[in-house]
A and B are shown apart, each in its own frame.
Chain A
Amino acid sequence: MRRRKAEELFFKILMLIAAIIVCGSFFLIVGTIFAKGLPYMNLDMLTKTPGGGFYIGKEGGILNAIIGSLYVAGGATILGLLISIPVAIFINMYMNGKKFLSDSLRVAFDVLFGIPSIVYGAFGFLIMVYFGFRASLLGGIIAVTLLVIPILVRTLDEVIGTVPLELRDAALSLGATRWEMAKVVLRQIRPGIFTAILLSFGRAIGDVASVLFTAGFSDNIPTSLHEPAATLPLAIFFQLSSPVEEVQGRGYASALILTIIVLVITVLSEILIKKFSKHKS
Chain B
Amino acid sequence: MTKTPHISVQHLNVHIGNQHILNDININIPDKKVTSIIGPSGCGKTTLLRSFNRLLDNTPGVSITGKVLVDGEDIYDPKAEVTHIRKKMGLLSQRPYPLPMSIYDNVAYGPRIHGIRKKQELDQLVEEQLKATGLWNEVKDRLNASATRLSIGQQQRLCLARGLAVSPEIILGDESTSALDPVSTSIIEDLFISLKEKYSIVLVTHILRQARRVSDYIVFVYGGKIIEFGPTEDVLLNPKEELTREYVKGYIS
Contacts and interface: CB of A to CB of B under 8 A. Distances in A.
Interface in A115-167: 164, 166-167
Q: What secondary structure prevails in chain A residues at the interface with B?
A: helix
In this complex, which of B59, B60, B162 has the most chain A Cβ atoms within 10 angstroms of its Cβ?
Answer: B60
Contacts of B61: 97, 99
Given A97-B60, A97-B61, A279-B147, A173 B86 contact: yes
A278 interface: yes
In this complex, which of A96, A97, A176, A184 has the most chain B Cβ atoms within 10 angstroms of its Cβ?
Answer: A176
A166 B87 CA distance: 16
Interface string B78-101: 000001101101110111011111
Nearest to A279: B100
Interface stretch (B107-115, B122-130, B242-250): B107-115
Interface string B149-175: 000000000010011001000001000
B178 to A, nearest CB: 13
A174 B95 contact: no
Interface size class of A (residues with CB under 8 A): 20 to 34
B177 to A, nearest CB: 16
Interface in A93-119: 96-97, 99
A171 B58 contact: no
Contacts of A99: 60-61
A170 interface: yes
B147 A175 contact: no
A170 B146 contact: no
A165 to B, nearest CB: 8
Contacts of B93: 166, 169-170
B80 to A, nearest CB: 13
A94 to B, nearest CB: 11
Contact of B60 (A96, A164, A174): A96
Given A96-B58, A97-B61, A175-B166, A170 B86 contact: no
A280 B99 contact: no
Contacts of A97: 58-62
A278 B146 CA distance: 7
Contacts of B159: 170
A172 B101 CA distance: 16
Given A96-B60, A99-B60, A174 B97 contact: no
Given A170-B93, A174-B113, A279-B146, 10 more contacts: A96-B58, A97-B62, A99-B60, A169-B97, A170-B159, A175-B83, A175-B84, A175-B86, A279-B102, A281-B148
Interface of A: 96-97, 99, 164, 166-167, 169-177, 180, 184, 187-188, 190, 278-281
